[in-house]
Structure 1
Amino acid sequence: MGILGPSKEATLLLRDADVITAVLRQALADASPEERGGLERAVAIAESIAAATGAEVRARWVRSQLAAVGFTGDVASVAAVKALRQAEPGLSLLAAVQLQKEAVAHPE
């Protein structure tokens, strides 16, 4: 099963937010009082990212790919699928549409 379910194209979703969160927590434990505020915020952000579901991660990826090619329109549009495939030329039409649906279902 790939990122989008069973298919001929397998994609692996790798996440290391839990490792980053652990490193930030250790840094916070060792931090001076001046550093604590910023590190507390960084830990909260990392925990939020680590808690995201696979669909939320993929939706965030879609939006980042669309932004990378300068797309500013409606994510639910045909133009968004075209822009996504422009950003990732190896992406099949089916995969692009499925990713688009997840992005629409998981707005920022």
Structure 2
Amino acid sequence: MKQNFINCCYFTAAFFLFSVFAAYGQQFEKHDDIVYANPNITGVGSDVVVYHLKSPLETATLNELENYMESLNAITQVDINGSDISIRFKGATTHQMIYPFIQRMELLYIYRNPKSK
């Protein structure tokens, strides 16, 4: 019984250490900027990024989207012209930097189910 308990402690410690080292390694994993690229985006590298809509959105949804994006700290101005959404950031952008903003915008407003409201 005592030997089984000690073996169990060794296995538990080994699994714990393995998961700690795996998580530590993932923190330092870097991807190229192009991994975060979105085919609907133009203007990356400047402070103005344009998102091109594939299909038109309702006016109410566009107004909600504009208010939401302007409330974010990194964005200074949002203009919507037809199927283009121009987003002005405080500085030059990279794909990795704007990825969270664009992903949130798509999930909350672009791809949402209109019947969910």
State the TM-score, normalizing by the size of structure 1.
0.29
Report which of the two has the higher share of helix.
1
State the TM-score, normalizing by the size of structure 2.
0.27
- Bigger-Rg structure (1/2): 2
